[in-house]
Structure 1
Amino acid sequence: MLRKVQSIGKAIQAVTTSDPATRVRRLYELADPEKQFAHRATRYINIGYWEDGTEDPDRAGEALALKLADIAGFEPDHIVLDVGFGYGEQDLAWLRANRIHKVHGLEVSPRHVEGACAQAESEGLQERTDFRVGSATELPFEAGVFDRVVALDSALHFHPRSAFFEEALRVLKPGGVLAAVDTIPLSGDTPRGTFRSPRFSLYRFSVPDANWYDRQTYARQLLDAGFTDADVTSIRDRTWEGWYRYWTGLVDDPDALKELHPEAAREFAKEWSDQERIRQELDLLDSVTVLARKP
């Protein structure tokens, strides 16, 4: 009982702040990474790209990172800005494969920045990385310095996303590209308050009203910011569907649950206690790839 009260208290503290960046940081720092990722080979926290034959979130997470690299058109001499990089798994994967020359990353979570810096140093990649705490809507860089600006499953939290678009346009070189994988509603008419399950409560609490719109509005906002060739394409059949199959399969498998850290298993079981509601809410969400070019 005490553990449950403490967990609820942390969740309430996470959302009871008027500052959107603080709210997002607190939500993503609720879980202890040593327990959250105890059964994982990586620390990807995106929903994954579940191609045929993909069976675990590590492979799916890397597949989504590589999908973004392909969409962005990475080249070995590119300098890239990754905004909302999590633990930096995708950035190090891109560097290992020489997809890019150097990556700069911004995150609201000091814990994530520390983890990414430590991993980069352990792999001898610290000279090709610059991970720091910062804001997506006030990028601390001069104009026209990046070949690519990317955001992997993070831009939904930027307050607002349209300000990020304007900042991305500013720091990109002429002809540079903004690319992202993002989560949006299938219909902008769906109230955010619809999302009542613990698993999807972040859409109720940590997505600004200004970011709650469909694919058509997304493309229009990119054009309004000054980009050209805006393309917003749904990939939900390869992201949300595979994600749902994997995690429901895990929660329904007692042997698989035993492989998790005990505390993580308890939290996971609680989050997924109402799979019918999660399925209903999932059917309201889209997952999209985003591509736009600076003139």
Structure 2
Amino acid sequence: MFENLKILRRAVKAVATKDPELRVQRFYLIQEPQVEFLDRSTHYMNVGFWDGDATTLDTAGEALARKLGEAAELRAGDTVLDAGFGYGDQDFLWLREREVGRITGLNITPHHVEAARARAEAEGVTDRLDFQLGSALSTSFEPESFDRVVALESAFHFHPRSAFFREAYRVLRPGGVLAVADIIPIDGATPRMAFKAGPLSFLKFSLPDENWHDGSTYAKELTEAGFADVTVESIREKVYEPWRQYMAGRVDDDEYRRKLGKALHKGVVRHWSGQDVMRQELDLLDYVIAVARKPE
């Protein structure tokens, strides 16, 4: 019970702050990492891409990272800016599988930066992975510093996302690619504050109003930032429903319940109750891979 009260207090503290960056920082402090990743082998914080081979949060998270890497056309030797990198799992994967030259990560959440740096040091790749504390909306990088800019399920936090598009355009070299995996409504007229399902509560307090729009407006903002060859592809059919089914099923898993403990498990059950409502609300959301290129 005490642990659940601590989680509730952290959530209230996150919602109460009016500073958008501080709100996001506090949002990622609501759940302790040892609880959030209790039955995990990775630290991906995305809902995943549930293709044929993805059966867990770990494999689905990796699949989404691979899909974004393909969309960004990550190549051997590329210099990459990863905006809002979380714990940086995708960066280690891209370094290993796509042999990019160097990745610079920006994140406003201190404990994420510390954890990613510690892993990079442990794996001896600090010369190729540089994780920094900072905002992707206003950076100190020189113009035309990167071949690729990516944001894996983080851009919906940016206040506003359009400012990130402009900064990405500035730091990309001519011909460079921006690729984003993002959450948006199917219809921008859907009331954001009307979502009731616990797992979707972040939509109400960690997204600025300016980011609550559909795919056509998304593409328009990329074009207005100067990008060409803009595509906004929906992949929602392989994201939301399989993620919901997995998470709802995990609640009833005996081994997960045992590891979590009775009190925390009770809170998780409450958080994931009302699956009929959640299914209805997920039908209102899109999940997109947006890709745009800076003209030569």
Q: Which bracket does the TM-score occupy, shorter chain normalised?
A: over 0.9
Structure 2: unaligned runs, 5 residues or longer: none
In the alignment, what sits opposite 1:94? 94
**Structure 2 CA distance for aligned equivalents of residues 145 and 170 of structure 1:** 9
Q: Partner letter of residue 128 of structure 1?
A: R
3-state DSSP of counterpart to 2:201: helix
In the alignment, what sits opposite 2:81? 81
In the alignment, what sits opposite 1:294? 294
- Give the deviation of 1:7 after TM superposition: 2.7
3-state DSSP of counterpart to 2:127: helix
In the alignment, what sits opposite 1:34? 34
Equivalent residues of 2:241, 2:279 under 8 A apart: no
- Give the deviation of 1:69 after TM superposition: 0.5
**Structure 1 CA distance for aligned equivalents of residues 203 and 50 of structure 2:** 22
In the alignment, what sits opposite 1:110? 110
Equivalent residues of 1:231, 1:292 under 8 A apart: yes
**Structure 2 CA distance for aligned equivalents of residues 2 and 259 of structure 1:** 17
**Structure 1 CA distance for aligned equivalents of residues 236 and 250 of structure 2:** 20
- Give the deviation of 1:264 after TM superposition: 5.2
Range with bigger deviation, 220-229 or 248-257? 248-257
- Give the deviation of 1:222 after TM superposition: 0.3
TM-score, scaled to structure 2: 0.95
**Structure 1 CA distance for aligned equivalents of residues 262 and 129 of structure 2:** 34
Matched, 1:270 2:286: no
Equivalent residues of 1:107, 1:133 under 8 A apart: yes
In the alignment, what sits opposite 1:69? 69
- Give the deviation of 1:37 after TM superposition: 1.0
Equivalent residues in 2 for 1:97-246, closer than 5 Å: 97-246=97-246
Q: Partner letter of residue 178 of structure 2?
A: L
TM-score, scaled to structure 1: 0.96
**Structure 2 CA distance for aligned equivalents of residues 45 and 73 of structure 1:** 22
In the alignment, what sits opposite 2:49? 49
Q: Partner letter of residue 122 of structure 1?
A: A
Q: 1:263 to 1:78 in 2, by over 3 A?
A: farther
3-state DSSP of counterpart to 2:150: strand
Equivalent residues of 1:29, 1:109 under 8 A apart: no
- Give the deviation of 1:4 after TM superposition: 3.8
Q: Partner letter of residue 278 of structure 1?
A: M
In the alignment, what sits opposite 1:257? 257
Cα RMSD for the two superposed structures: 1.5
**Structure 1 CA distance for aligned equivalents of residues 30 and 8 of structure 2:** 11
**Structure 1 CA distance for aligned equivalents of residues 136 and 267 of structure 2:** 30
- Give the deviation of 1:98 after TM superposition: 4.1
% identical aligned pairs: 48
**Structure 2 CA distance for aligned equivalents of residues 217 and 236 of structure 1:** 18
3-state DSSP of counterpart to 1:29: coil
- Give the deviation of 1:262 after TM superposition: 5.7
Equivalent residues of 1:160, 1:208 under 8 A apart: yes
- Give the deviation of 1:140 after TM superposition: 2.3
Deviation by residue 1:21-69 (Cα, 9 ceiling, x = unmatched): 1101101111111222121100000110101242101010001001000
3-state DSSP of counterpart to 1:127: coil
3-state DSSP of counterpart to 1:242: helix
- Give the deviation of 1:253 after TM superposition: 3.2
3-state DSSP of counterpart to 1:126: coil
- Give the deviation of 1:270 after TM superposition: 2.4
**Structure 1 CA distance for aligned equivalents of residues 7 and 65 of structure 2:** 31
**Structure 2 CA distance for aligned equivalents of residues 32 and 118 of structure 1:** 18
Q: Size of the alignment, in residue pairs?
A: 295
- Give the deviation of 1:268 after TM superposition: 2.4
- Give the deviation of 1:245 after TM superposition: 1.5
3-state DSSP of counterpart to 1:87: coil
3-state DSSP of counterpart to 2:273: coil
Range with bigger deviation, 246-255 or 178-187? 246-255
3-state DSSP of counterpart to 2:166: helix
Q: Partner letter of residue 191 of structure 2?
A: P
**Structure 2 CA distance for aligned equivalents of residues 50 and 225 of structure 1:** 32
- Give the deviation of 1:87 after TM superposition: 0.1
